[in-house]
Amino acid sequence: MSGRMLTAGVRPTARRGSSHTVRHIHRSPTGGLLRADASIRATRRRLWFGGNFFHNAVIVRNASFARFLPKLVIKFARIPALFGGLAVATFALEKVLTMRLEAGIYAVGVFNSTKDIVADTLSTLYGGAKDVAEQTRQGWENTKEQVEVPDWLKKVLRIHEEIGTGGSGPGGDGDPKQSKAAAVAAGATAAAYGYEKTDDENPRKTEEIAKDDQMMVLTKKMIEIRSILQKVGQSSTLTLPSIVVIGSQSSGKSSVLEAIVGHEFLPKGSNMVTRRPIELTLVNTPGSREEYGEFPDLGLRRITDFSSIQRTLTELNLAVPDSECVSDDPIHLTVYSPNVPDLSLIDLPGYIQVVGQNQPLQLKQKIIELCDKYIQPPNVILAISAADVDLANSTALRASRRVDPRGERTIGVITKMDLVDPRRGAAMLNDKQYPLRLGYVGVVSKAPQSQGLFKIGTQTNLLSTIVKQENAFFSSHPLEYGPEAGLDVGTTTLRKKLMHVLEQTMSSSLQSTSDAIKQELEEATYEFKVQYNDRPLSAESYLAESLDAFKHSFKQFTEGFGRPQMHELLKGELDQKVLDLLAARYWNKPIEDLTAAKPEPDSIADLPRSDPDSLYWRRQLDASTSALTKLGVGRLATTVVASSIQAQIDRLVSQSSFSSHPFAREAIMEATSTILNERYYSTSDQVENCIKPFKFEVDIDEREWAHGREHVQGVLKKELKDCESALTGLENTVGGRRKLKEVMAFVDKARKGDIVIEGDGRSGAGGFSAALLSRGREAVFLRDRADIIKMRLMAVKSKQCANLKNKYYCPEVFLDAAASKLASTAVLFLNVELLSEFYYNFPRELDLRLGRHLSEAEVERFAKEDPKIRHHLEVIRRKELLELVLDKMESLRQLEGKERDRRGIGGKREGERERSRWGLF
């Protein structure tokens, strides 16, 4: 009956050549259980005789025969199922790299055999069970989507992928056959335990995964705290441990670090390329496929091309000159990737034995001192030694012995294990002559160049290739490097050891670092209270306050600089032009050289004595007036006022808080120049147009004449004073008034012809040097100018110059009045075209250059230009960072306490399980 029902209930629908087989199993109306053993055996026959039907993977239905059966039966059947599942998993994992297809087929066969035993036993005890496991609904090509595994198994597979032994994510080799074979083995093990087993029912695996996850979280948080502490300062008490990599040149340091990161990024070369410490921070980014690096000190962000990182590191290292070769200025590099562990590493220049020809003689000692600085406690030492060099000659071990004689902080790494005999390599890893508490790890770490890993833009992960090569090498020598040897080998083992050691070291220094942070915070708080009276300050607020204060001083300047001040400035310039015209057309006669054939007559006595009503004097005054109105008053006036404004702004900056800020001073002066230059040409054109009528005729009334007469007296007096001051200065230059008078007397005699000078006179004459004679001629000119000004000053004061009709007798008064008229007219347009526009636009230009458009970095740079403000900001920032770190440390300690409690509870549960197993309860 059951045979007929089984035959009728199974309807195969597979087509020849198809990879899908669908079978339907019907339940009997009475609810009786169809025998599963016949179906399973049929499946086994199709498995063994079906050709390549199951070439990719095996589908395991997530349904347990024990799901609806009593717990007693499950416990009864667990022991044989456990041993069978473990055997399948062990065998499949051992054969996953070399015999993937065979391992999968074998695993399925053993798994089905195990299911037969369980099914026979269960059918004997409970023949009336209601459900039968559904058969395969899709082909074996889509197995991955149909496999349903528990959460704890997913975590195991994810960890398996992350360490590079079958992952198909970013950076993995992504072999689908390997992944499916591993899934077969894991699925078989899961079947042996029962498909519905939860994490609580498999505590050992769950505890290991939780421990690793907890360790990753703890390490990540401590590395984050370490980064913050680096910003606080360089105090040795405020540092968390790092892993310092030391070793001689060509020992394989770079290869080890690149294997850990999974990319080639360190500088390469033969002439000591690594010249500065490289502080490398690895940040694991789960859930992200992007890998990139950052140089925080340089502002370089998200560099996805690791060859660019390599070039940048090379340039930064080679920036150290050959005369020094090494520098203690570190390079900070952070790498973000889902394929790296959370680690803090420091790569140092390699030890050397012989100094090169172009290298300084003290280079060897400088490298030793630099490495000794970094390998001090609490840092962990990663001593790199090559396998082809005896450990007795290892420079790295010798250096670590000096600072860590008991080997408590040192991890030994033996590179190039494939270059020595396996027995010798195993002896080095198990070395007792140079024991280390953290032990030795043997690696190959150098990937073959033929893999094409070093091409720019490749997606192949370096770690995956190295792991494959190491697995192939170490597995080929099972006696020396197998599990029974008890040795640590492989880059994957090294990565995990580094994570555990760094986590333990950081955890042990947690309390001391927390105490040091509290002490530093107390000192920063005290300094902030005493020196700055708890006054809050930020770079943004300081810039805003400084800008407001400068605007206030600028407003005061605008109230005191207007039309009267511009008129005074322009009139002063025109007065000098008037004096130049008077000297050229009325006062001066050219002084001829002493060697002239015809002596010059007395300049005062020989002045023109023409009648005042003659045409000569009229033409002289008209020519002088025309020269004054046509000298370019528009451009002159605009230049004078613009220069004055710029000088006043410079004075305001010097008196403000911006005086100690070159960046702000430059920005303010550029704003001033920009506005003035934009208005310069239009203003000068407008002024020039407004004074055009004065170029043809200048009308002066009595009031303007009287004002000009009064003003010109002051101008002449000032000119006279300047001449007398210059003459006094010449007396001090030549050695006294008496000496100058002797030289002046000689020059007067030569001008009158009383003395005949032989030769060209270039080397001197009359016992006086050529330089002294030059000073004498200058003194004679100043004396004559002073005499003329005195005479003209008396003429201006006379009654004759009191009347406008006598303007030809008094050209000084008329030209002064005309200059005042030009200045008054020009100021009207200067005020509208230049000054008002500048007053309106300047504050807005300041806001653009020093306001909201500045970036945070520019504002920070501005504030730190002032030493006092920089110290104030540093105290505040230090205090805030210390408070932040202290909060994070407190949360970290709480996390560590919970982890300690969890481990204690877990240990207690494990003990209870052991006692229960041996019948102690």
pLDDT score of 912: 56
Same domain, 573 and 469: no
Amino acid identity for residue 145 in this structure:
E
Residue where one domain finishes, among candidates 861, 876, 893: 861
Structure tokens at 147: 């496999």
Tell me whether residue 371 is in a domain: yes
Contact 915, 533 (CB under 8 A): no
CB atoms within 10 A of CB 84: 21
**Angstrom distance (rounded) from CA 829 to CA 836:** 10
Contact 624, 818 (CB under 8 A): no
Same domain, 483 and 557: no
Tell me whether residue 695 is in a domain: yes
Same domain, 414 and 268: yes
Tell me whether residue 633 is in a domain: yes
Do the strands 440-442 and 488-489 form a parallel or antiparallel pair, or are they unpaired? parallel
Rounded to the nearest angstrom, the gap between the alpha carbon of residue 33 and the centroid of all alpha carbons in its chain is 70
For the chain, the domain total comes to: 2
pLDDT score of 118: 42
**Angstrom distance (rounded) from CA 440 to CA 430:** 7
Q: What is the DSSP letter of 833?
A: I
pLDDT < 50 stretches in the chain? 1-150, 152-210, 450-459, 590-604, 607, 914-915, 917-921
pLDDT score of 510: 75
Containing structural domain, residue 306:
243-448+460-489
pLDDT score of 289: 86
Tell me whether residue 496 is in a domain: no
Domain holding 307: CATH number? Answer: 3.40.50.300
pLDDT score of 277: 94
Tell me whether residue 637 is in a domain: yes
CA distances (Å), 529 to each of 231, 319, 375, in order?
A: 22, 43, 37
Residues with Cβ within 8 Å of 663's Cβ and at least 6 positions away in sequence, in order, are 858, 861, 862, 865
Tell me whether residue 364 is in a domain: yes
pTM above 0.85, yes or no: no
Supply the DSSP string of 24-60, one letter for each residue. Answer: --PPPTT-PPPPHHHHHHHHHHHHHHSTTTTSS----
Q: What is the DSSP letter of 585?
A: I
**Angstrom distance (rounded) from CA 26 to CA 22:** 13
State which H helix or E strand residue 111 sits in: helix 100-125
**Angstrom distance (rounded) from CA 499 to CA 505:** 10
pLDDT score of 35: 42
Same domain, 684 and 778: yes
Same domain, 478 and 560: no
Do the strands 410-415 and 343-347 form a parallel or antiparallel pair, or are they unpaired? unpaired
State which H helix or E strand residue 347 sits in: strand 343-347
Same domain, 476 and 625: no
Contact 807, 621 (CB under 8 A): yes
Contact 114, 121 (CB under 8 A): no
Tell me whether residue 76 is in a domain: no
Residue where one domain finishes, among candidates 807, 836, 861: 861
Same domain, 468 and 553: no
| Planar angle of CA 159, 162, 165, nearest 5 degrees | 95
Indicate left, alpha or beta for 126 from its phi (over 0: left) and psi (-120 to 50: alpha).
beta
| Planar angle of CA 108, 111, 112, nearest 5 degrees | 85
Tell me whether residue 891 is in a domain: no
Helix (H, G, I), strand (E, B) or coil at 356: coil
Contact 429, 435 (CB under 8 A): no
Same domain, 821 and 704: yes
Same domain, 698 and 784: yes
Structure tokens at 8: 């009728």
pLDDT score of 119: 44
Same domain, 474 and 556: no
Same domain, 440 and 554: no
Structure tokens at 740: 């100058």
CA-based nearest residue to 782, from 724, 731, 733: 724
pLDDT score of 762: 67
Same domain, 305 and 427: yes
pLDDT score of 858: 85
